Amino acid sequence: RKEVEQDPGPFNVPEGATVAFNCTYSNSASQSFFWYRQDCRKEPKLLMSVYSSGNEDGRFTAQLNRASQYISLLIRDSKLSDSATYLCVVNYNTDKLIFGTGTRLQVFP
Amino acid sequence: DAGVTQSPTHLIKTRGQQVTLRCSPKSGHDTVSWYQQALGQGPQFIFQYYEEEERQRGNFPDRFSGHQFPNYSSELNVNALLLGDSALYLCASRTSGGETQYFGPGTRLLVL
C-alpha cells in the first residue's frame, strides 16, 4: 500500500465549478500535511498547509481528519488558471516529505 | 531574493555514465533535500543535507550520493546510470528551524 494515495484523475470541470480532491495516508505518526500544486513540467509549489481545524485561503479549503487519516482540498469557483496537478503531501519530520502521485485538474471554458 | 536554483536544466546521458547535478538554496536556507520525480509520479525523497552532512536518506541505492558545501549549496551524484534513472530531479531548501520546503525548477535527466 502506498503511503499517500490520491485519485490520479483527470478531473475535467467547467469554469465556476466546485471540485474536491481526497487523499489518504497510511502512517498515523504523520505530523504535518500540505497540498502542493505542480504545473506541467514545473516544480511543485506549496498551495497550503492543512490543519486539523480546517483552513481556508480564498477559494481553497483544506480539511484534515486524523482519525480517518484523510485529507481533502476543495476548490470553489474554478478558474482556467487552476488547471494543474495537485499533490497531497505528508511529513513525519521536517526532513522528508511524502508525496502522493497527484490529481490532475483540467478546467475548461 | 533569489529562490532555489538548479543546474543544468536538462541533461542527456547514456547508461553506465555518471552525472552531477547542482543546487543553490534560497537565500538564508541551510538545509537542502533532493527528490526524484519519475513521469506520472509524485516526487520521492532521496536524501537531505544539513551542516555538510547527510542527515536522512530515502530508499535509493548507494549509486546516489551527495555533498553539501560550506555555502550550503549541494550536489547530487548518480553513478552507473540506468534507464530508470530518467526523471526530474528536484532540490528543495528550508531554514533549519522552518517547516516549509521551497523547490527549485529541477533538472530533467534523460538516460539513453
Calculate what percentage of chain A has a pLDDT beyond 70. 98
| pLDDT at site B1 | 63
Give pLDDT, residue A41: 87
pLDDT score at B90: 98
For chain A, the average pLDDT equals 93
Q: Which tens digits make up the pLDDT trace of A22-33?
A: 999 998 888 899
Q: Which residue in this structure is represented by grid cell 470541470? A: A13
Per-residue model confidence as pLDDT tens digits over B4-23 = 999 999 999 999 999 999 99
Distance of residue B50 Cα from the nearest chain A Cα, in angstroms? 10
Residue A78 CB neighbour total at 10 angstroms: 21
Say whether residue B25 is in contact with chain A using an 8 A CB cutoff. no
Given pLDDT bands bounded at 50, 70 and 90, which one contains residue A84? Answer: very high
Q: Which of residues 93-112 of B touch A (CB under 8 A)?
A: 94, 98-106, 108
Whether A51 and A61 have beta carbons less than 8 Å apart is answered as no
> Mean per-residue pLDDT for A18-24?
96
The DSSP call for residue A80 is: G
**pLDDT band for position A94 (cuts 50, 70, 90):** low
